[in-house]
Amino acid sequence: MVEGVHHRPRRRPWAPAGDARSGQGACQGRYARDPALTAPDAERHPEGLRAAGWEQGCRLRITIPLTRIRLVAGKPVQKTDDHDEWVLVAQDCDLAWNSVAGSDSLVELRPVYRDDPPESWGIRNSKFRLDEEGAYLVDSEPPVRVEPDVVFAAEHTCAGPHTKPARRLKTWLVLRCNRPAVPQEYVPLARELAKRLEKKTHKQAEERVRDILATFAIAEDSTVEFTLTAVIPHEQADADPELVDTTRDWLSQIALSVPDRLGLSTDVIAVTDEQLSLAFLETSYSLDVTAVSWPNSEAGPVGAVGP
């Protein structure tokens, strides 16, 4: 054994082969120098996770305890269950330089679920869909932090998302950390909009709206005013030039159907995901009914949203 950069003995991790828990083949242990599933960065520590082909968004399979804290007889108590499918969500810069074999740095993983997957692909959803097969992340589920050797010992089941999927995951992770709750004075209007969106009127099978975003304001005469913005994947808009107009017309009908006593629409637009600014994302509210934050005293609607 040799000394690692964190002054601890560095061991090459190895996990036993032939793990039968997975329905996707045997779990194979792998050395840090095994062939990478992704192209490593040119600049990285040679013994780091990034050098071994791991990047943010990579999928891995290894059984790890997933712990929640419950209150039992007035005392916090751990409730632990084993979970075996994960997504690596640590930043690539950490994977390149800090997550070194044998070190005691920590790498964040999020549990992957497959039961009852969400239909929507929205980046504001509390459930984030990872692929067409239905794998997804849940915002409220606790992440775990493990030493790099745990990741080295895992089965690398899926290379990380590249370019567009990677941006979706990065954006979701950021938005879940700073998700605006609908202010109390706008909750009746937001609930009504979410309910009408859930009806999915005028839906065409080939259309997919990524998100419906709203802004709210109170006018000088105390009228609640709102805007609606439909976010469309730019690939679909490029393939169908009329999609933006048809989506805006559909959303306008939703806005006009809202009772005036709840609020008045001042603008309805449809844009592609390439046209949204970060400032707008930070100041708007998602009307996906799985993402809107409702007050604890009010029961929110249940389900996914889309036209």
Cβ–Cβ under 8 Å, residues 183 and 295: no
If you search the block for the tokens 């039968």, which residue do you land on?
20
Distance CA 269, CA 228 (A): 6
Residues β-bridged to residue 64: 83
- At 15 the pLDDT is 34
Q: Averaged over 132-155, what is the pLDDT?
A: 94
Here the tokens at position 53 are 């082909």
Q: What is the pLDDT of residues 181-207, one digit of tens each?
A: 677 788 889 888 888 887 654 444 234
Give the other-Cβ count within 10 Å of 46's Cβ.
12
pLDDT band with cut points at 50, 70 and 90 for residue 307: very low
| Cβ burial 249-260 (10 Å sphere, 16+ → b, else e) | ebbbebbeebee
Q: Averaged over 40-62, what is the pLDDT?
A: 85
DSSP 120-142: ---TT-SEEE-STT--EEETTSP
Instruction: Give pTM, 2 decimals.
Output: 0.55
Percent of the chain whose pLDDT exceeds 70: 72
Question: Which domains can be identified in the chain, with CATH numbers?
Answer: 2-177 (no CATH), 184-286 (3.30.300)
If you search the block for the tokens 């499918």, which residue do you land on?
85
- At 196 the pLDDT is 85
